[in-house]
């Protein structure tokens, strides 16, 4: 603790000096956290209120999913998984976005005007192919161009077209051009981020519907099996054709359940 002293005080030296249990516990927590952060093969899960420690054989950028809170992140930097961008680039990008927070707030709106009838449209899905609910015009959410014209050149609307003569313009004009370029790429980055969240919400809804459908099919199968069991117990009094028909119904219910859900 001395100024410019490089000697480390080990735990067996510090702990006897800490007489209050709460202070001793807090010291051990900090010591453990410092150990994890300094260890190249260990990392805390960045999930909210999650204390899970993740271990990896090597510290490199790869997708990790916490077994406790299900948070997915990059093992090397701890940010949201960002492939194919490297950790240093995504760090600079996030810093840039944070510095331009007012600009980010300005362009992060969920709505745009239809390029044909100019009615306000809200994007509520992950796909960039939009259709105006008013005039039925199909267009690209990113560049507002006609969707039919995209074809194989769809990537063009994600590429910024710089002014070839900008180097000869004034410093003010160059600054405005730099801001336009940043806004162009920020809008696309923000759009992909929102699309991912929307797709996750859609996936959750689909899984919920599948679960509800499964429970319904399962209940139907159970009901038919109960009916079949009742008839088998009274086989001597049950018509053979009726029994065979019930067996066929049960088999169809079973096949439907297996076909629809075991392959999901």
Average pLDDT in the chain: 80
Provide mean pLDDT across the span 39-50.
88
Domain that holds residue 231: 200-263
Q: Helix or strand or coil: residue 260?
A: helix
Any idea which residue has 């690209």 for tokens? 140
Distance CA 129, CA 144 (A): 10
How many structural domains compose the chain? 3
Lowest mean pLDDT among 96-110, 128-142, 197-211: 96-110
Distance CA 136, CA 133 (A): 6
Spatial CA neighbour of 103 closest among 196, 27, 180, 48: 180
Residue at 52 is within a domain: yes
Claim to verify: residue 193 and residue 217 sit in the same structural domain: no
In this structure, the strands spanning 42-44 and 72-74 are: unpaired
Residue at 246 is within a domain: yes
Residue at 3 is within a domain: no
Claim to verify: residue 58 and residue 111 sit in the same structural domain: no
Question: Is there a catalytic annotation at residue 127?
Answer: yes
Residue at 179 is within a domain: yes
Claim to verify: residue 91 and residue 192 sit in the same structural domain: yes
In this structure, the strands spanning 63-65 and 120-122 are: unpaired
Distance CA 118, CA 121 (A): 9
- Catalytic residue, from 117, 127, 135, 146: name it: 127
Residue at 80 is within a domain: no
Angle (deg, nearest 10), helices 171-233 and 87-99: 110
Claim to verify: residue 65 and residue 103 sit in the same structural domain: no
Give the H/E segment covering residue 99: helix 87-99
Distance CA 43, CA 53 (A): 6
Distance CA 260, CA 126 (A): 26
Write phi, then psi, for 113 (nearest 5 degrees).
Answer: -90, 140
Claim to verify: residue 94 and residue 130 sit in the same structural domain: yes
Distance CA 63, CA 152 (A): 30
Q: What would you report as the CA-atom Rg of the chain, rounded to the nearest whole angstrom?
A: 30
Claim to verify: residue 194 and residue 205 sit in the same structural domain: no
Residue at 5 is within a domain: no
Q: In the prediction, which pLDDT does 263 show?
A: 52
Residue at 79 is within a domain: no
Q: pTM for this one?
A: 0.41
Residue at 228 is within a domain: yes
The string of pLDDT tens digits covering residues 218-262 is: 888 888 888 888 778 777 777 778 888 888 888 888 887 777 665
Q: In the prediction, which pLDDT does 151 show?
A: 60
Claim to verify: residue 32 and residue 94 sit in the same structural domain: no
Claim to verify: residue 113 and residue 177 sit in the same structural domain: yes
Distance CA 60, CA 66 (A): 17
Q: Helix or strand or coil: residue 73?
A: strand
Q: How confident is the model at residue 126 (pLDDT cuts 50, 70, 90)?
A: low
Claim to verify: residue 40 and residue 115 sit in the same structural domain: no
Spatial CA neighbour of 196 closest among 42, 72, 56, 50: 72
Check whether 32 has a pLDDT greater than 60. Answer: yes
Q: In the prediction, which pLDDT does 106 show?
A: 53
CATH number for the domain harbouring residue 131: 1.20.120.1750
């Amino acid at each position: 603790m001395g100024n410019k002293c490089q000697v480390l005080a080990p735990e067996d030296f510090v702990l006897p000096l800490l007489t209050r249990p709460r202070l001793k516990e807090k010291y051990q927590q900090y010591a453990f956290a410092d150990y994890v952060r300094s260890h190249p093969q260990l990392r805390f899960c960045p999930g909210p209120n999650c204390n899970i420690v993740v271990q990896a054989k090597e510290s490199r950028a790869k997708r990790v999913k916490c077994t406790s809170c299900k948070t997915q992140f990059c093992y090397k930097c701890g940010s949201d998984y960002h492939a194919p961008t490297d950790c240093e680039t995504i760090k600079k990008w996030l810093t840039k976005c944070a510095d331009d927070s007012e600009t980010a707030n300005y362009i992060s709106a969920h709505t745009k005007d239809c390029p044909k009838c100019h009615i306000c449209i809200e994007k509520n899905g992950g796909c960039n192919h939009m259709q105006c609910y008013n005039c039925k015009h199909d267009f690209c959410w990113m560049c507002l161009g006609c969707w039919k014209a995209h074809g194989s050149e769809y990537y063009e609307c994600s590429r910024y077209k710089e002014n070839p003569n900008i180097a000869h313009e004034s410093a003010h004009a160059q600054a405005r051009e730099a801001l336009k370029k940043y806004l162009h790429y920020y809008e696309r980055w923000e759009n992909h981020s929102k699309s991912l969240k929307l797709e996750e919400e859609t996936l959750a809804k689909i899984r919920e519907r599948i679960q509800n459908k499964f429970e319904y099919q399962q209940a139907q199968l159970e009901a038919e099996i109960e009916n079949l069991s009742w008839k088998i117990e009274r086989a001597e009094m049950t018509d053979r054709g009726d029994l065979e028909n019930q067996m066929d119904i049960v088999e169809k219910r079973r096949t439907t359940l297996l076909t629809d859900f075991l392959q999901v």
